[in-house]
Amino acid sequence: MPQRDGENTPSAMTGVSLEVRGVSASYGEVRVLQDISLTIAPGEFVALLGSSGCGKTTLLRSISGFVPVDDGQILLAGQDITNRPPDKRNMAMVFQSYALWPHMTAAQNIGYGLRLRRVPQADLKRRVAAMLDLLGLEGLGERKVTQLSGGQRQRVALGRALAIEPQILLLDEPLSNLDARIRQTVRHEIKALQEQLGITAVHVTHDREEAMVMADRIVILDAGHIVQVGAPEEVYNRPASPFIAAFMGADNVVDFTVERANGRVRIPAAEHNDEAFLPAGDVSGAVHLVGDCNGPVQAHFRGEAAGLVSGEEIPPDSLVLRGRISQSSYPGGFYRYAIQVGAQQFMVDDPRPLSVGAAVGISLPAASLHLYSP
């Protein structure tokens, strides 16, 4: 999606703040959102991330006005819009299904909201042309949307939302219908366009990589509650709970008993692990600790952070789990091994061809470990 300068390029949209204060919402007698509070800065891109049923789409629809709230307030640029109808909130939504009119052309779909607002024809044509140009759809305006590719239809839906110059752009999993290759391209395009226009955006997704790539901040929801808010690096590297660690990819789990002393964590040797003394606290390369972490802990780690060692080798500031290769595959460029450690199995990638049945160690750098007290 090229960025252009010229007379047809829309002027930058002024981002505004959005605040959700103590919002609860229900479907019938089922409470879906529980006392949600969130402040979004002008021009910020925020991703609502969580598994199915966590409440992220309900929160988005409450912001847009499609779902009424039971309690709390929604403020736009400091003004209470809690009871305003959707068409009076100056927001635009890009839906998962795109919701395009199949009998209309791309240009007619982009201009649909402008026609509803009775924008003069000359201004409408100018703004539609600017959107086609901005979105890399020049020359396709007269095509029916059924003749466009998935990526092009997604851009038309985005253009229709932006053409009305909303103060808030809402995105309801708009990339889920695209194949993986196109999805990776389009998410970068949407982020670049949002930054170029300066618009405030709220994006719902269940794809953590999508949230990491696109968002300035990530809001993780679980069972109708916000469980962590932070920059992508913070949420990824310092997950606040075992649930968040697993959701952010650190879904390998080992139970240990640990001792803390002098800024380090000692993990005693056991049947399937070597003794380890690991740095802890606010230092580079340290273990991430949540809770007291002096006694029984649950350790989470990501498979991609692990390496394989042979013999008695123990890399510095690392924990080594001892096991055997139970399965081997070659996905291309490296080998993927299933390592049996006691009753557990972990997947580890390594460039070396190794034999099934070989004794190996799984090396886990201190910084890759997230330890949680019960």
pLDDT (tens place) for every residue of the chain, 374 residues total = 544 444 444 545 667 999 999 999 999 999 999 999 999 999 999 999 999 999 999 999 999 999 999 999 999 999 999 999 998 999 988 887 778 888 989 898 888 888 888 888 998 988 899 888 888 888 888 889 888 888 888 888 888 888 888 899 999 988 877 777 778 888 888 888 898 889 999 999 999 999 999 999 999 999 999 999 999 999 999 999 999 999 999 999 999 999 998 889 999 999 999 999 999 988 888 999 999 899 999 999 999 999 999 888 888 999 999 999 999 999 999 999 999 999 999 999 999 999 999 999 999 999 999 999 98
State the amino acid at position 336 in one-letter form: R
CA angle, residues 156, 160, 166, in degrees to nearest 5 = 140
pLDDT at 132: 87
pLDDT the model gives residue 140: 86
Report d(CA 221, CA 166) in Å as an integer.
26
Looking at residue 270, the DSSP 8-state letter turns out to be B
Q: What is the pTM of this model?
A: 0.86
Contacts of 76 (CB under 8 A, 6+ apart): 16, 17, 18, 89, 90, 91, 167, 168
Domain 243-372: CATH architecture, name and number where available: Beta Barrel (2.40)
Q: Which CATH architecture fits 18-237?
A: 3-Layer(aba) Sandwich (3.40)
Q: In what order do the strands lie in the sheet with 359-365?
A: 307-309, 359-365, 318-329, 335-341, 344-350
The full set of domain ranges for the chain reads 18-237, 243-372
How many beta carbons lie within 10 A of that of residue 64, not counting itself?
A: 18
* Residue 202 and residue 40 in contact, taking contact as beta carbons nearer than 8 Å: yes
Contacts of 304 (CB under 8 A, 6+ apart): 249, 349
pLDDT of residue 229: 98
Check if the beta carbon of residue 55 is closer than 8 Å to that of residue 221.
yes
In this predicted structure, what is the pLDDT of residue 13? Answer: 61
At residue 3, the pLDDT reads 45
Residue with tokens 């201004």: 123
**Largest pairwise CA distance in the chain:** 77
